Amino acid sequence: MSLSSTSFLTESLDPTEMGSEFTAADARFCWLDQGVLSIEPNQPSELPAAILTVGVHGNETVPIRLVDHWLRELCAGSTPISRPLLILLGNPEAVKIGERFVEHNLNRLFSVASADATAPECRRAVTLMGWVQQFIERHPDGLHFDMHSTIKGSDQDRFAIIPDACQGRNLNNLLSWFKHFRVDAWVQNISPAATFSSFTANLGYQSATLELGQVSTLNDPIDRFLPLVDELNRLAYGAGGVCEHEPTGFHVVREILKSEGEFDVCLENFVNFRRLPMGTLIARGAFEEWRIEQEGDALLFLNPAVPVGHRVALVIRALA
């Protein structure tokens, strides 16, 4: 059984081969669990490992289909895989129903707090954290790209969020792959979070949440993202090379959390990264208002439909 006769997506949604192994491209592929595929080169590698995660939100299908397409091509090729890889489909049940999540936002559950919870997404987070920890114990030097799609449109089509745990580290390897993936902008976060990329960053990986396009169905075309398959092949083969593409760097200057009681978002026609005039009213709560404090600041992930205490938006500013 190989991914040339089935697919990563099909097997992740309807597992029939758990525990099975096959060989392709001079590497061992092993289905460790539902939506958990380990790829180990047959020849020892000194390259940093890489974790690729998709489908943490079930309606963000561009990365899911991109990785599915890439793995088929990778298995059919003859070039040896040189880098240890762990490929994860985060929330199969949410993918099946085409929703962001079943009960809870999985990308807020990658913490020890999930260990004692019984909700489906909490149990899934615990399972994924376990497999990731085992992989990182074997390969302590590595990269993690948690691939998503945005709910709202963006002036930067592809962008990345670097978790706060990566602050102060040498991120040259991560930033070089941003160039290869044609990331238009990257943002350094400053607040701890229970996201997947924060979890792996706290285990020592160079990690990022990578946003590709907008939420779509499993049937929408992804042609404009297919050139990334060549770059994912470069990642697997260990052939980085020089890339002239240069993303723009941003940092988070403020995080807006939903307060109790009355809370209204006042900004209409929101677009990620769209620069806003100083004084623009973003949101109003019972006892506080949030405004743009410097000309040209922008917002990310504006979403009023979150629980109290959760992030409504990030205010970002371009690096000087």
Residue pLDDT, tens place only, 144-192: 999 999 888 899 989 999 999 999 999 999 999 999 999 999 999 999 9
Q: Which long-range contacts (CB under 8 A, 24 or more apart) does 228-233 make?
A: 228/66, 228/70, 228/181, 228/182, 229/66, 229/69, 229/70, 229/73, 231/177, 231/180, 231/181, 231/182, 232/52, 232/66, 232/67, 232/70, 232/74, 233/70, 233/73, 233/74, 233/77, 233/79
Burial 60-98 (b: 16+ CB within 10 A, else e): bbbbbbbbbbbbbbbbeeeeebbbbbbbbbbbbbbbeee
pLDDT at 5: 54
pLDDT at 3: 67
Cα 11 to Cα 175: distance, rounded to the nearest angstrom: 32
Domains and CATH numbers, the chain: 8-246 (3.40.630.10), 252-318 (2.40.50.630)
CB half-sphere exposure, 103, CA atoms < 13 A:
10
pLDDT at 242: 80
Spans in the chain with pLDDT lower than 50: none
Angle subtended at Cα 74 by Cα 71 and Cα 78, rounded to the nearest 5 degrees: 160
Cα 284 to Cα 263: distance, rounded to the nearest angstrom: 6
pLDDT at 146: 98
Cα 97 to Cα 99: distance, rounded to the nearest angstrom: 6
Collapse the DSSP code of 229 into the 3-class scheme (helix H, G, I; strand E, B; otherwise coil) and give the result.
helix
Cα 188 to Cα 150: distance, rounded to the nearest angstrom: 17
Collapse the DSSP code of 136 into the 3-class scheme (helix H, G, I; strand E, B; otherwise coil) and give the result.
helix
pLDDT at 16: 80
Length of the chain: 320
